[in-house]
Structure 1
Amino acid sequence: MTKEISFIDLGLSEEILNALNDLGFTKPSPIQAECIPLLLEGNDVLGMAQTGSGKTAAFSIPFLMNIDVNLKAPQLLVLAPTRELAIQVADACAEYSKYVKGVKVLALYGGQRYDVQLRALKQGPQIVVGTPGRLLDHLNRKTLDLSNLKGLVLDEADEMLRMGFIDDVESIMATIPEEHQTALFSATMPAPIRRITKRFMHNPKEVQIKGTKQTAPDIDQSYWLVRGMRKNEAIVRFLEAEDFDAAIIFVRTKTATLEVAEVLEKHGYSCAALNGDMTQQLREQTLDRLRNGRLDILIATDVAARGLDVERISLVINYDITLDSESYVHRIGRTGRAGRAGRAILFVDSRERRLLKNIEQTIKKPIPEVALPSKELLEKRRLAKFTQQVQQQLESADLEQYQTLLEQIQAESGTDLETIATALLRLAQRDRPLILPPDPVFKPAREYRDRDGRNGERRLRGDNRESPKRRERRDVGEMDMYRIEIGKENGVEVRHIVGAIANEADISSRYIGNIKLYETYSTVELPKGMPKDILKHFERVRVLNQPMKMSLVAGKSSEGKRGRKSNQPESDDKGFAKKRGRPTAPKF
């Protein structure tokens, strides 16, 4: 039986512990508790565990501890069967190492241009994550130097075997230095994988972790693919469309608990954040308020929600998908208590589909997709609630005085009672209008293609990075200008910027304005009113493996049909082109 330990007990560096703390991780999963000490001791490790058990942290954290930041060369190589998994692992490594100065992570996969990858390789990444076909291509071209490699990881080896990559894997392993440490992870152990372990691994320590038995069958589950609207706006819609007694919203970080709570409070919800920074006394007070009905919604991290058992909770919303699929089962288990009906909704970003697949494998059933609650549904529910409130007032005993006031308003205005009632109805809406604007129309997301065999390395056909030659433009009204810290010297092209913004903000490329490329930076026009959380996100988004570091430069507005130009502030940059004013634009 595995001893109950924390990440602190594993002897990890302060920088990595801080990164794990930001993600809300304090206790390692079983495979992490087993593998991290073995890898830190220098052993080769053979891990047998199901997808979603926490393997990425199990191998990346100990290898990160041994990275020489002064050596600008690949020191850890991770092989992954698909482009999606390669990106996921690279993102995770970047998160775990974000406080370790000088560490660079690079993902190499099929479908991305070679010149883009070559420039990134010249910057000297210490961690390279890639698909076998593309890695072997770089080795054959001699553009990938593995002579300084210290660690090799084969992630989901049985999947690579199924997809026909096993020969490529053996060819790659035959080229790396003999003195290195190897970790191989596989859900099953067929004969070809066993052959690799005997040929290339030195007395590997075997770790076998059994998957969860839980399936959470009695909870109504669905997922929403994040598109067409930001999460902050979508969650308000979902809460309004659902009938629930009390709800818990799971987010990934402490900061997010406060941000989501602020959004919901502005929309009139009785809610509170629950995170690891709270004292035990404040935590208990918050839970008591939830139990006795003075609080209806909790926004919590996984760590803060441990041990939480409140019968009132009938709805769980996974605002941020969990990186560990077993944690999802624990999350949704907070609802449906004491024989009550339980409801769980999962927000899934387009790049998180693999995590969704992991969850479905864990719970042993598919999760159906649900559409964003529509304008018509929200109007119907709001009108029903408003009608109920009016009915309650009609049953009140003190309406005579207000009837006198109504007659006085009618006499003074000379308006009929029906028109006055209509005006009062509009006035009574307050912050929840009974008539909503049309739902925004966004470019529909495209489905994943079949990824069997080598096609597993192909990118999504719907990915905007491969833009058409001509980008259709639409009048988008008031615009703001933003600066991003990547330019011609980095090899950036307009299509790279369009693809990154369209993917990350989930808007059609037609709503992206003029883009100007300079040597060391670029500028782009976007519809006015970009929310702070999206701008903050764009500070970290990468183009050609370089952070955009987007910042607001100047605003530009339009008035009237002819698009009268507003005054533009002076700028230090001479190259800003004058922009045409445009009619009303869809806002973020």
Structure 2
Amino acid sequence: MTNVATPSSRHNTELQMNHSKNDARKGLSHSVANNRPSQKSVAETMMSGQVGEGEDWKANLNLPAADRRKKTTDVTSTKGVEFEDFCLKRELLMGIFEKGWEKPSPIQEESIPIALSGRDVLARAKNGTGKSGAYLIPMLGRCDINKDYVQALVLVPTRELALQTSQIAIELSRHMGELNVMVTTGGTNLRDDIMRLENRIHIIVATPGRILDLINKGIAKVDQCNMIVLDEADKLLSQDFKQMMDNIVGALPVSRQILLYSATFPITVKEFMMRHMKKPYEINLMEELTLKGVTQYYAYVEEKKKVHCLNTLFSKLQINQSIIFCNSTHRVELLAKKITELGYSCFYIHAKMKQEYRNRVFHDFRQGLCRNLVCSDLFTRGIDIQAVNVVINFDFPKMPETYLHRIGRSGRYGHLGLAINLITYDDRFSLARIEEELKTDIKPIPPVIDKCLYVAEYQQEASKDNDGKV
């Protein structure tokens, strides 16, 4: 069972984050001052002619391979705006393009110019359509690296999402000289956070409990922090975090800018908006709730035959990576053990695990070191792993919001994916309610599932065939 909870030692790869391996293992917050090009190196590059006027600077970027997978209108239905049209700093544009982002998605297109203007934003968009970029790009664009205080704060509900978001910020700002990003979450060493905050930090990505603790202790000074983002705002404004959020916002200057992003906006969001936001610009790109690229199926099955059904799915589906959801931490561990006994590679993760194990599993699964991950709803919020093409609800959720966030782990950024739900007799009413409330169609699983619906290679071949016909 050990090899399920923690990947084997041969997978002890160095974390591909711009911070030390030791800190990543412990889940500590990270500053990146010494892990990016300095202002001088960028200036020297520009003077040497590698980055010049016009389009010449683009020719020397270290671009990733172009993503040729089919994309849905969730991310392609834009007005044709380019990143250069936002009047961003060239160093930031370099990071954007080297991240592999070619054009703004609809939420980025709508949100970035408003956020850059300093106005409050209330944005609603589907999971996996570029919300992180929608707030990180204007945040980085407005940061002044010559000022030695915290200028922006990003709040997220989970530790894994905090690490992921800070990593994106680091990658986007890699050419922006001494711009420092720090991540801090609960379950890590407070002393390390204190030491980091003695240095110059411009952006903090945090979970609410930890940053509030640092603020109350006078360690994190946010009295000049003029921008705050609430990512997954519906969760952050739930009863679990509501009072914390009021206290954190109360510690910021009156002139602060507030950006709220989420897929769903319950009544608590409206209450927060009335208390703290100033005539926010509202964006709603949620004509429908579920991602267009995710095909949803259900299979009626007895509880005792679920594992057998899962084994059949593994043998018949072409899984690149899968995330399998259970409704309790106990069932997560039991199922992971069963999957391992069946001979399939499998990790598991849930909130009751030690943070160092969670960090390790999260990192190694992202790196593709294991095909299947069994988890609790810890992993439903914002986690972006592009290689995941299949999500399986081993236990069917009761709430529509939970279902929406779970299946959103597949079909990221307009790509195609598969969501399969194992339904027992007791789940039948939840299935009907979720279909009705989300206005989505969950179909009975067919004997054979077309690989074009969820396998990238088949999508590309089908696209070539269609091009040939034309």
TM-score normalised according to structure 2 size: 0.50
More helix by share: 2
Greater C-alpha radius of gyration: 1
TM-score normalised according to structure 1 size: 0.40
Higher relative contact order (CA 8 A, sep 6+): 2
